Each structure stands twice: as structure tokens, then as C-alpha cells.
Structure 1
Amino acid sequence: MKFIWGKKEFTLMIIPGANRQTVRIKLPHSSLYVVPSVIILVLTGFCVTIYLMNTTFHQTTSTMQQSFDGQERQLVDQITLKNNELEQLQNNLIDLSQQADEFKVKLEEIKKLEHVIQLMSETDGTSKKSGALPSGMASRPNPDVGGAEVPVTSQEVTTLVSSTKQDLTSLVGEINTVLVNLNASEVKLKEAEQLRTITPTLWPTVTHSITSGFGLRKDPFTLKPSMHAGIDLDGELNDAVYVTAAGKVIEAGYDDEHGNHIIVDHTRGLQTEYMHLNKMLVKRGESVTKGQQIGLMGTTGRSTGTHLHYEVHKNGVQIDPSPYLINDRKDDH
């Protein structure tokens, strides 16, 4: 290649080799400046492009690194939070298991109470035996403990979850059974208390001296055999006379045979009668409580001296009061 300079232009000659035609290219003189400038501009643009791409790459890489670091920190925080939550759940599960054990102890105490109620309400003194306290249960709320710290395994947690679930399911069933039994026992206890209240088990007087018992005897006036339908209790004039069971006064009056007398109905076919009173302290239709004073001892009516004639009627038939004389008034109140 060879340049041939002219005034306003130059010729670019390309000699390819022997036996080949020479190529001549005429270029303006200004191209000597333009071409290098273009080349320089192209190279400059290329370099700028490479620089910008490199800068963008580094910025993108930095941004991605920052984003990755942020996501990594966020992931680590989430993992830490999940681990803390898992540890808290494990602690809650352990607490729940301990509470279930404590609840077992309370349930056994309730069973004991149920057993006592059943004993109180059963007339024959028999009831279903309740279970004993679980073995190995701590009697103190905060026992002294110790031991090495061993990490909890997932298998141990799973086992504890299963065991606690079974315990709670069993406890719910036992609680339902106990509640049913307690309700039944409460009904029986109320019935027993009501029966005790309306059953004439008290002595009607302070004295326990019986001057004439129930059954056949010689009549004190005619000296002929006669049926004594109650018992005579000795005492002094105006000694207190008490009703032997709760009920309602169905008669309070006077006649020549019974004198001042009171009849109290206790329901369930039981009635009691108090005769020869010097004074009556209740009226017909009045409700009385067990052990309440209802009159004063006297000798009115067909009587040879101061005493109380006391009768018990069952379904309209006069029966021996002696089996009912169980408690002193002070023992029952």
C-alpha cells in the first residue's frame, strides 16, 4: 500500500502482488483527519461503553449482593424467630404436661370428696371405691430438682405431645364421669338430708325417763288390760316439749282424753302426737323445724300426773316410738 500526496487529495494505492492489478483509491485530504477521528471516537465510545457496562455490572452485582445479604439476614432472623417460637412451644407443652399431672392430683381429691358424699348419702354405707393418688406424684408445689442440660429431640417432643393428648382426653372423660356422679350424689345427699329432717329421731323432752312403754298394760284408771299406743315421758310441770322432726301442725287443740295436744305431719306417712300439755306454743297450719319447742309439759286430759304422752303414727297406724328415739336435741342441732 502506498500514499501519493496531491494538493487537495491523496491516492491510496494497494499493490496486491505480482501479476495483479494495482488498486487506486482517491481520498480527500480532509479524510486524513476524519478517519482517525472517527476511529478515535469509535474506540472512545467502545471504551465508554465497556466502562459503563463494567460500572453497571458492579452496581448490579453490589445491589444483588446487598439484596442477598438482606434476604440472608431476614432468613436468619426468621429462622431464629422460628427456633424461639419452637422453643417457647416446647416449654408451653412441658408446662401443659405438668399442669395435666397437677390436674390429676386435683381430680383424685375430687374423687375422694365424691366418695365422702356417697358415704354420707348411701343408707347402707357402701359406695364405689375411688382410685388412689397416682404413684410418684410430687406432694410439694416446688420440689428441689437438678440434672444436666440435654437438648430436646423431636422424637421426645412428639412423644410428649401424644402422651399429653392422651392424658387430657382421659381427664376429660373422667371429669365428665365425676360430674355425673357428683350430681347424682348431690341429689342423694339432698334426699338424705331431707329424709333426716322429716324423720322423728329426736327425744321430745330433755328427760329420757320412760314411765310407761308402748304396748299392753293395765289401764291406770280402770286397772283393766288396755293398749298403750305411745310412751309416757316423766318430767316437771312446764318442762319444754320439742317437735321430733320438721313438718306442719295439722292439729292443736283440747279434748277430755288427750288434754292439750298437738299433731304434726312430717309427710311420707309419718305423724307425731304430743299430749297432756300444759300449754301449746304453736297453732294449726304452722310449719315447724326439727327440735323446735312447741309446748310445755303438763297433766291436762286423762292423766294421773305431769308427763308427756308421745306417739308416732305411720300411715295412720300407731307404732312403737322407741326405735325412733335416737338423738338428743342438742346432738342434732
Structure 2
Amino acid sequence: MKFIWGKKELTLMIIPGANHRTVRFKLPHSSLYIVPSLILLVLIGFFVTIYLMNIYSHQTRTSMQQTFDGQERQLVNQITLKNSELEQLQNNLIDLSQQANEFKVKLEEIKKLDHVIQLMSQPEGTNRTSKKLSMESTESLGGVRSDIGGSEVPVTSQEVTTLVSSTKQGLTSLVGDINALLVNLSESEVRLEEAERLRSITPTLWPTVTHVITSGFGIRRDPFTLKPTMHAGLDLDGETNDPVYATAAGKVVEASFDNEHGNHIIIDHSRGIQTEYMHLNKMLVKRGESVTKGQKIGLLGSTGRSTGSHLHYEVHKNGVQIDPSPYLITNRKDEP
């Protein structure tokens, strides 16, 4: 390559080889200044671009570092919060487990109460089969003490999982026990109500304050004719105007006077049982009136066919007079 200087222009010759054609370029003389200037401008632009890129890269790195630091702090705060929430959940789980154990103790007490109710609701003379109560579990769960201690050992995830599983199983078992207990309590309540109803309509109460029997049930010599007659009740001694009580709850089906029975009251107790109270000085109830067990229904006297103040008391079963003695088992003061 060869330059040829002229007055106003430059000739650029490129000679590739002996066997090739020479290539000439004519350049203006001013290109000696323009080309270096362009090269200088390009270099300046390059270095300025590199500098600006370094500044932008530094700012970007700084911004990214700040963002990363912020995200790191936020992540640390979130982890700390999650750890606190996890610890709180573990404490709540422990409380729930303890409450479940305490509830088991209460459930055992309710089971014992249900057992007592079942025994109370069973009729007299029946075979009372006792349930086996889980006293061992009651004893093992009952004593929660405050004087406790030991080393501080962090719990493992396996231990927490085991506690969750056992608590869940315990609560599931409790739900089953509660459902069964509710059924038993409902059945016991029905039986108890029925037993209470039967108790209230069964004439087990003494109708007078005194328990002196002057004439029993059965064949005796009639006090007026002195002939053998059937005495279909009990004569209970007492003073005039002593209180006379209904021996069971029921409905008054008769409250009237006749020459033989005097002032007398008949109470129907359902199930084919009736009681009759004769020779009253005064009647305190009327026909059609409902009475409760132990209610005062009259005053003792000697009206009708009677030799003195007493109460003639009869028990009728399906229309037949029976001996009242087996029914007289309860004092009025023993009644609620």
C-alpha cells in the first residue's frame, strides 16, 4: 500500500502482488484530519460507554444488593414469625392434649353417674348387673400437679407428630364415648322417669301417722254380729281428725257417704290398682280431683259402720280386695 501526495488529494494504492492489479483510492487531503478525529471520537465514545456501563452496573449491583438484603431480612422475620407460630401451635397442642385428658376424667365421672342412674331406674328385686368402670384411667389421669421440672430438651417433629396422632385418636375415642353415653343417658332417663312414675303410683305409703293395726286382713269375728266375716282391709288406729294421706298418686274416682262406709274416698292409681279410705270424719278432696303421693286427703273419724275412731284402708287390684300389708313399706317422712 502506498500513498501519493498531491496538492488537494491523496492517492491510496494497494498492491496485492506481482501478478495482481494495483488498486487506487483517491482521498481528499482533509481526510488526514477527519479519519483520526473519527477514530478518536470512536475511542472516546467507547470509553464513555464503558464508564457509563460500569456506573450502571455498580448502581444495579447496589440496588440488587439492597433488594436482596431487604428480602433476606423479610425472610428472616418471616422465619422467626413462623417459628413463633409453630411454637405457639405446639403449646396449644399440649394444652389440647391436657384438656382431653381432663375431659376423660370428667367423662368417667359421668359414666359412674350414669351407672348409678341405671341402678336407680331398675325395679326392685331385679338382677342388677354392674358395669365395669374404668377406675384405672381415672386414677392415672386425675392427678395434675404443679410441682414439676426437668431438663429443657427441644421437641422433634416426630414427637410432635406422635402427640398430634395420639391426641386425635383420643378425641375420636372421646366423641364415640360421648355419643354412646348420650344414648345410655337418654335410655336411663326414660327408665328413671318410668321408675319414678311407678314409684309415685304404687301405694307404698302408710296412710296414717300411727302404724297400729287394730284389725288385720282376713277372716275375723264381726264386731256387731260376732259372726265370722271377711275383713277386706286393715283397721289403723288413731285419734279423731288425725290426718289421712293418699298412699300413692292418682285420681279420686269416688268421694261420698253411705251408712256402711261412712265418709269414704276411692283413688284410682292406674295399672288396675285402687285404694279406699273409710270412716273419715271429713273429706278434703272431691271426685275427679288428682292427688299426689302423701297428699292430705281427709281426717280420721268414725262415720258409718264403726265402733270408734280409726281408718279402714283397702287396696284393690283389678277389682279384688287384697291384703294391703305388703304395700305398707314407707313412712311419710321418707317421701320426698
Distance 1:17 1:274, change over 3 A: closer
Cross-structure match for 2:92: 92
Q: Which residue of 2 aligns with 1:323?
A: 326
Q: Provide the rounded CA distance (Å) in 2 between the counterparts of 1:40 and 1:162.
A: 79
Q: Which of 284, 301, 305 in structure 1 is aligned with 2:304?
A: 301
1:204 to 191, 202, 207: 207
Q: Which amino acid aligns with 2:335?
A: D
Counterpart in the other structure of 1:144: 147
* Residue equivalent to 2:81: 81
Q: Which residue of 1 aligns with 2:223?
A: 220
Distance 1:143 1:120 in 2: 39
Cα RMSD, aligned residues only: 2.6
1:276 is aligned, of 274, 279, 282, to: 279
Residue 120 (str. 1) matches residue 139 (str. 2): no
> Distance between the aligned counterparts of 1:196 and 1:91, measured in 2?
53
Q: Aligned residue for 2:108?
A: 108
- Moved >3 Å (runs of 4+): 1-18, 20-29, 124-127
Give the unaligned 5+ runs of structure 2.
none
Report if the CA contact (8 A) 2:105-2:142 is conserved.
Answer: no
Number of aligned residue pairs: give it. 332
Contact 1:250–1:264, Cα closer than 8 Å, also in 2: yes
The superposition leaves residues 233-277 of structure 1 with CA deviations (integer Å, 9 ceiling, x where unpaired) of: 111111111111111100011111111110000111111000011
Counterparts of 1:110 and 1:13, CA distance in 2? 118
Residues 14 and 23, structure 1, Cα contact 8 Å, conserved in 2: yes
Percent of residue pairs bearing the same amino acid type: 78
* 1:173 equivalenced with 2:171 (yes/no): no
Give 1:8 deviation, angstroms.
4.1
Structure 1 distance, partners of 2:149, 2:76, is 33
Partner of 2:52: 52
Quote how far apart the aligned CAs of 1:216 are.
Answer: 1.0
Instruction: Could you tell me which runs of 5 or more consecutive residues in structure 1 were left unpaired when the two chains were aligned.
Output: none
The letter for the 2-side match of 1:51 is: Y
| Cα shift at 1:25 | 6.5
Structure 2 distance, partners of 1:289, 1:98, is: 49
CA–CA distance in structure 2, aligned partners of residues 66 and 97 of structure 1: 46
Alignment-mate amino acid for residue 314 of structure 2:
E
Amino acid at match of 2:76: V
- Residues 21, 208 of structure 1: CA spacing in aligned structure 2 closer, same or farther, 3 A cutoff? closer
| Residue matched to 1:160 | 163
Structure 2 counterpart SS, 1:136 = helix
When normalised by structure 1's length, the TM-score is 0.91
Go from structure 1 to structure 2 and tell me whether the alpha carbon gap of 1:129 and 1:4 turns closer, same or farther (over 3 Å shift): closer
Alpha-carbon distance, 1:133 to partner: 4.8
Alpha-carbon contact 2:262-2:279 (below 8 Å) kept: yes
Other-structure match for 2:193 = 190
Structure 2 Cα separation of the partners of residues 189 and 129 of structure 1: 21
